Every structure is written in structure tokens, then in C-alpha cells.
Amino acid sequence: MSSPLIESVTEPLARVLALQRQAYAAHPVPTYAQRRADLLTLQRFVREHKDALCAAISADYGHRSRHETLLAEVFPVVDGVDHVLGELRSWMKPQRRSVDWRNFFGARNRVLAQPLGVVGVIVPWNFPLNLSLIPLTYIFAAGNRAMVKMSENSRHLAAYLIAHMPAYFPPEKLQFFDETGGVGVAFSQLKFDHLLFTGSGQTGRAVMAAAARNLCPVTLELGGKAPAIVCDSFPLHTAVERIMFVKLLNAGQICTTVDHAWLPTAKVAEFVTLARAIVAQRYPTLDSSDYTSIIDQRAFDRLLAALAQARARGAEVIPLLNGPAFDAASRKIAPHLVLNAPADCDLMQREIFGPVLPLRSYTDLAEVVAAVNAGPRPLAIYPFSHDAAQVQHLIDHVMSGGVSVNDALFHVGQHDLPFGGVGDSGMGHYHGHEGFETFSKMRPVFYQARWSSLKFLWPPYGKLADRVLSFLIR
């Protein structure tokens, strides 16, 4: 039974859903020109408001590096629209499929990509522009309408989108919603034609359960403990450079960041030395404008508690910057490496989602494969090796949502690769052609010929039917 709070927020949501459904019913299949115009409008919005969008996101974080927002949020949206525009006409073409000429001589089969209708999108706080507008790119490319629910930690950005997006898209096409209390629960209970959720596994289970009551299909982009696996022959300096860049981007608050790193036992100490030098060069002090704050006090406290727990239980906790290990006023935590963390401590059991990198050692890759496979399937794995057979062995034996080889994270940035998890890290895909298909009904259509050979199989059955069936199953 719904609570009074849920009922109070459901009515305005249901009103917008009805408005969008009515608009969909009136114009169920937008033309290529209409879809192209929607995509260009989305791109124009980002270009015209990029400075204000960066400022709003930074305000939500307390401090967010402007360059990181431009690199990880603004550019992928603008560039992604260009990619989709280059592919859209071919994606929209009906697909020809073969016909069994013995049964259906002269008939035709086609698969038509048609809009589903109204798509709901639930957006997390860590990349709120990227994870709202990139899905919209594929939702609009497929000809749909959308309702987007922002995170409670994205108040400044949500207010900005709610205030300015209506000048670009009418509410029957697109509407944003802030989290004012109970909105997320009510939103997930709406009868959408598809629901995309990005966030934690715990919330993802609740969203999926709510959607199941409406038989609403879902795409769940969740998280997990994505490992980097550095093989013995790979140049360690290159691995450290790349791993630490990804790990400290957005202060580690990325679902596809390197959660922890596996290293040959003999290379752990060298990794620490290299990481100290590289991090100090990139972020000379904790108050560097290039270094992002932790999103809120709860997350800040959680990370400090996890570090303290690991230290108390015998782990070696190594801050990588000189000076204070954290600053409470700015909610910044210095980059840390952690050695010998107990297997059952929070850092090893939960997705870290911060600038803390546990290092784990191995003597045989079989140990790594067994350890990763013993846990939930991660959203990504990151093998570092120039040995193609070794890389393929890890890809074959460790299942994950995606893979970046000899780097981390950047499979997500490839516009023509599908993005999605597997098992505990999610289900379904968007990005690329798969994103277009996720938000389309790939509708099979059979066109019978003017003259149907099946008339020979109409009852009453007799000798002719016997001969025809004998021919078909000979």
C-alpha cells in the first residue's frame, strides 16, 4: 500500500506521464528529420549552457574540477550526439530477414525499429549530466519521450535543468524532476514503457521490484568491485600512470573506476613508490582545484571510517600527498593506497567509491581469477598485459560487464560499444546500436504474398497435405 507521501508526489508524475502518452499516441513514429532535430537541440542546450552546468555540478559537490566535468560529462554528450547522428539513418532502416521459401514462397520478413513510448530515467549524482543526457541521446534517437528523475545530491543541477530545459523541449517530450522526498519511489512505480536506472545494487533491486509490478522492462546499470590486473610483463610505470589517473578522476566516485589492483608480489613496493611521485605531480596539494570533493558528509565519513577500520585491523594505509590526509571543510580526502587489508573489512567487501586504492598481491594469475570469480560479477575488469593470450585468458575466465585492456574505464567512452553490467553489476545495455535497440521495439513484421502456398495445408486434410508435409520434413 502506498504511503501518503508517495501518493502526494505520484499525482504530478502521473500527469506528465499521461501527457507524454497522449503525445506519443498522436505521433507514435517520429521521422528521421524530427529525431535529428531533437538530437541537435539536446546538443545545442549543452553547448549554450556548459559553463552554468559545470558551475551547478561543482556547487552540488562542494567542489568539482571544471576540467573533469568538461572531459567526462560535457564532451561525451556533445561528441555522442555527433556519433548517433552519423548512424541514425541506417539504424532506422527496416531490417530484411530471410523467409522459408518452401512454406512462404513470395512472402517477406522485416524487423522495424519502432519507439516504445515513454522512457523513465533515474540518474545518480556522480555524473549527473552524462548519465541523464547520454541516455536521452539514444531515447530520442529511437523516437521516444522521456521523464528524468535527478538525485537528491544534484539539487543545483536539477534546478537548472528544470528551469532551462523547457525552452528547448516541451513537457510532452521531456521533463526533469528533482528528488524532494519520495519522488524516486513513486517514479519507479510508474507504468513506463522502459525504465533505466543507474545506481547502487541495493536500490537497483528495489527499482526492479517496483517495475516488475507493471511488467516494465528495466535496464540496470549498477556497480561492483572492478579490479585492475597488472601482469608481470607489463611496464609498471605505464600501469601506475593509467590506473592512478582513472582512480582519482572525480576523486574515485565512478562506478567503473578501478576499485582495487592486483599486482605481482615483487612489484607492490615499486607501485607505491611510483604512485607517490605521479600523484604528487598531478595534485601538489589537497586543495588543488583539479581535485574533486567527496559528494556529501555521509560519503566522507564512510570513507574515513573504512580507512580507520582497515588501519586498526593491521592494514598499512599510505596517504600519497604530503600534509593532511583529509580536509573536513572541503570534504576532500587525499589519495590513499592500502596494503594487506583484511578480506572481510569494508574496503574489500563494499564498492569503495572514493580515492582509496587497495593493492592485492599474487604469485599466479590463477589466484586472481579464483578470487574475482568468488565475488559478484564486476561491472568491468582491467587486464594490463601485452601478451594477447594472457589477456584473452582473463577475458575468457573472468566474466564482467565490460573490459578495457591496458587501461581502465575507457570502454565506457567508446560510442560504438554497448555499455552494461552482468549479474550483480546490472542488466541490459545502452550506448551504440544496442542503445538504440534497447529503447526501440524491434518489431517483427511478416508480409504474406498475394498467393499463399499454405492453402495446400488447409483442412480437410488429405493426400495432398500428406505429400506436402512429407516433402517439407523429408
pLDDT in tens, 198-254: 999 999 999 999 999 999 999 999 989 999 999 999 999 999 999 999 999 999 999
Q: If pLDDT is split at 50, 70 and 90, which confidence band does 49 have? A: very high
116-133: burial string, b at 16+ Cβ within 10 Å, e else: bbbbbbbbbbbbbbbbbb
- Here the cell at position 208 is 526492479
Q: How far apart, in Å, are the Cα atoms of 409 and each of 10, 58, 70, 232, 269?
A: 37, 22, 17, 21, 25
Which of 255, 345, 351, 437 is an active site residue?
A: 255
The span from the CA of 257 to the CA of 295, in Å, is 16
Which residue in 287, 347, 279 sits closest to 319, CA to CA? 279
pLDDT in tens, 248-279: 999 999 999 999 999 999 999 999 999 999 99
What's the sign of the alpha-carbon dihedral 119, 125, 128, 131?
negative
The label of the residue with cell 504474398 reads 449
The label of the residue with cell 582545484 reads 289
pLDDT at 1: 47
- Here the cell at position 29 is 513514429
DSSP state of 74: I
C-beta separation of 426 from 398 below 8 A: no
Is 216 known to be catalytic? Answer: no
Min mean pLDDT across 85-89, 122-126, 157-161, 199-203 is at: 199-203
pLDDT at 35: 98
C-beta separation of 332 from 321 below 8 A: no
Please, which residues have CB within 8 angstroms of residue 116's CB and are 6 or more apart in sequence?
A: 142, 144, 193, 194, 439, 440, 441
pLDDT in tens, 410-436: 999 999 999 999 999 999 999 999 999
Q: Using omega within 30 degrees of 0 as the cis cutoff, is the peptide bond preceding 383 cis? A: no
Q: If pLDDT is split at 50, 70 and 90, which confidence band does 142 have? A: very high
Which of 68, 221, 351, 437 is an active site residue?
A: 221
DSSP state of 448: -
pLDDT at 5: 62
C-beta separation of 69 from 129 below 8 A: yes
pLDDT in tens, 370-398: 999 999 999 999 999 999 999 999 999 99
Q: Once rounded to an integer, what is the mean pLDDT over residues 19-43? A: 98
Query: What does residue 300 show for φ and ψ, rounded to 5 degrees?
Result: -60, -50
pLDDT in tens, 445-454: 999 999 888 8
Task: Express as a percent the part of the chain with pLDDT over 90.
Answer: 92
Query: What does residue 197 show for φ and ψ, rounded to 5 degrees?
Result: -125, 130
